Structure 1
Amino acid sequence: MRLLWLLALLMSFLEGVEVKIASYNVENLFDMNHDGNEYEEYIPNGSWGWTDEIYRTKLRNTATVIQGIGADIIGLQEIESETALKALKAQLKRQGLYYRYYVFARGKNSSVNTALLSRYPIQSAYKHPVSYSREYRDILEAKINIDGKPLHVFVNHWKSKSGPESMRILSAKRLLLRLNELTSDEPFVLVGDFNSHYEEYRTFLKSRRHNDTEGITGINHILRTIDNDGNPITYASLKNNGGYLYNLWYEISEEKRWSHQYKGRGEGLDNIIISPALADGQGIEYVRGSFKRYDPEYLFYKGKVYRWQQSRKHPKHHLGEGYSDHLPIYALFRM
């Protein structure tokens, strides 16, 4: 028995530390403080019934999903405040998942913001303003210590499809400006709700409302997840080309490449994108084939994503049911 235990321990050591990184748009986690930036339906004790009881239900439901993912590092979108983030962190601890480290990025006059929870130490954190307009959310960067090795994680929440592609390109350019400051051997992961399909360069071409950039997209052209001939970057081509990035959606079957639904159609708006340094055979590496969409049955209702439920009948109110209009995604990385 002792020999088997020693062999198992040796195999674990040889395989190295494994880290799960996830991204989740939680859909409007607001606190109970009235700051003046709330959406109408989330004004505390307002006409929509955003009460402490409903707030606690939203916290529990959100924590249940995050607990199910079991990520070591998770980027979050649509968190109103640091107060809401700390309440979520406390709820997760009550449910058995403790994140010692966290960082929150609040933009000026922004209603919802980005955040990150981590079981590994955060060495430093920055927020990168895209614009001083409240139309744009800051990009959050966290430099995380993975057993002595640094990993940069960028949490994004780009402008929604209510705006044209030029607005998302502005976010992409701000992100690229920071990425270009990193050396080629510094690994980074881009996560979040980019409000951009992994093949946006194909899906938005016929949309006059979105295509105001003559076919150029932020996620594909600016971040270079496609090559100069318009072909998606593969894991193999990432290893051979330093200037490109790899979108992990290509790791799973095409019918599952979506995390959000719009008018019944699936969209891959949430993305995890990796740098060449995570596929060079040194230090921290992406575990090829490990990318997954977190999609247990309870996150669906009548064939649709079981989003947070609100009654549109008079009086409009929260029902205290559901989770989010986005599905989480995650991937594994190994030393």
Structure 2
Amino acid sequence: MYGEENLFDAKVDGTEYEEYKPNNKHGWNEAMLQIKIAHIARVISDMDADIIALAEVENKVVLEKLNAALGAKAYPYLFYPNKKERVNIETALLSRFPIEKTATIAIKDQARGIHRITLKIENKRLDVYINHWPAQKEKEEERLLYATTLHNALLKEEGREYVLLGDFNSPYQVQKDWGMGFVNVLKTGDKSALFYNLWYDLPQDKRYSHSYGKQKATLDHIVIPKTLSDGKGIDYNPSSLTVFSRPYMLDEQGNPNRWQISNRGKGVHQGDGYSDHFPLTAIFHTVND
């Protein structure tokens, strides 16, 4: 899972964030796009994962450009949803396994949906649910909508193998009311919970993938049902969750070296940096029947 921070193309589509409108005072253009793609591709290439979920991609065209930049490590199977007109960015998936089918769970009064991608892995199937929930600054009621809708959808998945991942914009434990939807409604948590949040594999002081100033947070999550630890089909390798980082991805404080835009993100693209999120990786394996 990689929140690669606002991968926009260099064409005017009308839904760009102000700083990603091409060929204006912010300096976003095709040349700057190629630099950013090269930086994201470097991280993905070093991760070398079989499945990559991305959180902030403008369209399928720019996703294909990113995939092409991976060269010999390009992925044979790509997913990008049918994006609503008013949506700036959407989630996407790169896979080395065939995509059998896809579906989108619409959320009432919300722009982005939750996307289910069914992968064929050897002779087994895995449903990957990719999420990007409303940001922390939005009301918790909006994230509660996502949590309730996803929880109800998963009631139909009983006995199946699936993984929930993405930027849930929620902490792994409730902070005041922030995270109520993710923790209490979706029912994520430690191994006593309905769904196991892989953050609990790590010591508490290592549980973060995002930083803003001095604030560190667990906005990104990989969550599994009990069917991924039952010794059948596909299983999670215990304690394999990793917050992926390399020296080039760190700032001077050891936090994510985000893509640099001057004047607190309102100025000019600098052609430097990577993302304000570290990727999360986890290892799964197939079990011989």
Does the alignment reach a TM-score above 0.5? yes
Q: Contact 1:107/1:113 (CA < 8 Å) preserved in 2?
A: no
- Separation in structure 1 between the aligned mates of residue 221 and residue 243 of structure 2, nearest angstrom: 10
Question: What do you get for the CA RMSD once the two structures are aligned?
Answer: 1.7
Matched, 1:79 2:42: no
User: Normalising by structure 2, what TM-score?
Assistant: 0.94
* 1:147 corresponds to which of 122, 125, 132: 122
Q: Deviation per CA, 1:109-140: give whole Å up to 9, x if none.
A: 10010000100001001122213443xx2111
User: What corresponds to 1:309 in structure 2?
Assistant: 260
> Structure 1: which 5+ residue stretches go unaligned?
1-22, 206-210, 226-231, 239-243
SS in 1 for 2:160: coil
User: What corresponds to 1:275 in structure 2?
Assistant: 225
Q: Contact 1:259/1:327 (CA < 8 Å) preserved in 2?
A: yes
User: What corresponds to 1:34 in structure 2?
Assistant: 12
Q: Contact 1:108/1:132 (CA < 8 Å) preserved in 2?
A: no
- Relative to structure 1, the CA distance from residue 103 to residue 290 in structure 2 (aligned partners, 3 Å threshold; closer, same or farther) is same
Matched, 1:102 2:78: yes
SS in 2 for 1:281: coil
1:262 is displaced (CA, Å) by 2.6
- Separation in structure 2 between the aligned mates of residue 62 and residue 301 of structure 1, nearest angstrom: 16
- Separation in structure 2 between the aligned mates of residue 285 and residue 159 of structure 1, nearest angstrom: 30
User: What corresponds to 2:145 in structure 1?
Assistant: 170
User: What corresponds to 1:11 in structure 2?
Assistant: none
User: What corresponds to 2:95 in structure 1?
Assistant: 118
- Separation in structure 2 between the aligned mates of residue 309 and residue 216 of structure 1, nearest angstrom: 29
- Separation in structure 1 between the aligned mates of residue 143 and residue 266 of structure 2, nearest angstrom: 36
1:256 is displaced (CA, Å) by 1.2
Matched, 1:233 2:190: yes
User: What corresponds to 2:164 in structure 1?
Assistant: 190
- Separation in structure 1 between the aligned mates of residue 100 and residue 169 of structure 2, nearest angstrom: 29
1:295 is displaced (CA, Å) by 1.6
SS in 2 for 1:305: coil
Matched, 1:331 2:282: yes
- Relative to structure 1, the CA distance from residue 282 to residue 197 in structure 2 (aligned partners, 3 Å threshold; closer, same or farther) is same
1:164 is displaced (CA, Å) by 1.6
Q: Deviation per CA, 1:175-233: give whole Å up to 9, x if none.
A: 12221121x2211101100000111x1x2x1xxxxx3xxx87111111112xxxxxx43
- Relative to structure 1, the CA distance from residue 216 to residue 40 in structure 2 (aligned partners, 3 Å threshold; closer, same or farther) is closer
- Separation in structure 1 between the aligned mates of residue 264 and residue 171 of structure 2, nearest angstrom: 32
- Separation in structure 2 between the aligned mates of residue 48 and residue 155 of structure 1, nearest angstrom: 31
SS in 1 for 2:156: coil
Number of residues of Structure 1 aligned to a counterpart in Structure 2: 284
User: Normalising by structure 1, what TM-score?
Assistant: 0.81
- Separation in structure 1 between the aligned mates of residue 266 and residue 51 of structure 2, nearest angstrom: 40
Q: Contact 1:143/1:151 (CA < 8 Å) preserved in 2?
A: yes
- Separation in structure 2 between the aligned mates of residue 282 and residue 56 of structure 1, nearest angstrom: 43
- Separation in structure 1 between the aligned mates of residue 264 and residue 127 of structure 2, nearest angstrom: 45
> Structure 2: which 5+ residue stretches go unaligned?
none
Q: Contact 2:190/2:196 (CA < 8 Å) preserved in 1?
A: yes
